[in-house]
Amino acid sequence: MANLKEIKSRITSIGSTMQITSAMKMVSAAKLKRAQDAITQMRPYANKLTELLVNLSSSLDSSDQGGFSEKREIKKVLIVTITSNRGLCGGFNANVIKKASSLSQNKFKDCKVHFLSIGKKSTDFFRKNDFNLISSHDDVFTNLNYESISEIAINIMDYFNSGEFDKVILVYNQFKNAATQIVMNENYLPVENTEGSESSIGDYIFEPGKEEIVSELIPKSLKTQLFKAVLDSHASEHGARMTAMHKATDNAGDLKKELTLTYNKARQAAITAEILEIVGGAEALNG
């Protein structure tokens, strides 16, 4: 009977876990809808801004585009990682951390690499493993908005312009759908023009001038690029958590069925054993 009690206790425990994971799945699904709408609305603007910047800058020399396009010998690299503040979302955070670590140990192994963390999970990892973490921004997801991300982008631009870093890389999860997130590592600084692309500016008059417009567009484009990456990561987080909780609920349901079957078999065996004992005792009395 002790065995039966243990199995019944496990069934009850798994039932409670199923309720929690199912509730978390529904919460993530609700949050995913808002996050997905945000990134869907942001992408056309960000893409058009980038297209406009490429069209304008393609007809200018790098010297006319300010310090953001300056190509230097890569000695010092800043890797910006975007993760979440909470777990229970499958490999969402681990994939970003793994990609960032791989870049520092392979592609930039001969460089001095530092990290800037957006999200508590990557912050905790870098601090625990003694990585060169220059700053962390774990509170941006409390009230995610363009202004807070702009401040981070300005700090990164200042790092680059001051010569503290020669290259800046963004590592984050790009949202494709609720079940699929793509780990991205894209160049952030210096700004790279598309080689061989023909300008499609047309016969326009620019006021005050192309150089001035580009000098205004590049910082705005960099802020928008970082904001888009954070929105992508935010939507990916909820999609990953919803998928993970869905799988956890299904697995808990399967386990509960197996344990219920085991419990019924054990209970039936115990009842059969008791009946056999009673019958055996009755026959002994009759004999």
| Single-letter residue type at 121 | K
Catalytic residue among 89, 103, 178, 229: 89
- Asked, as a colleague might, if the bond just before 219 is cis with ω within 30 of 0, I would say no
Residue 209 shares a structural domain with residue 232: yes
Per residue in 235-283, pLDDT (tens digit) is 999 999 999 999 999 999 999 999 999 999 988 888 888 888 888 887 7
Would you state the pLDDT for residue 196?
A: 46
Which pTM was predicted? 0.86
Same domain, yes or no: 73 and 114? yes
* Number of domains forming the structure of the chain: 2
Same domain, 128 and 266: no
Do 271 and 138 belong to one domain?
no
CATH number, position 262: 1.10.287
Same domain? 182 vs 254: no
Phi, psi angle pair for 211, to nearest 5°? -60, -45
Domain shared by 80 and 116, yes or no:
yes
**Shared domain check, 149 and 7:** no
Same domain, 198 and 276: no
pLDDT in tens, 126-139: 999 999 999 999 99
The parent domain of residue 256 ranges over 2-20+248-286
- State pLDDT tens for residues 115-126: 999 999 999 999
89 is catalytic: yes
Exposure class string for 110-146: b at 16+ Cβ within 10 A, else e: ebebbbbbbbbbbbbbbeeeebebeebbbebbeeeee
Let me know whether 154 and 123 are in one domain.
yes
Does 81 lie in the same domain as 112?
yes
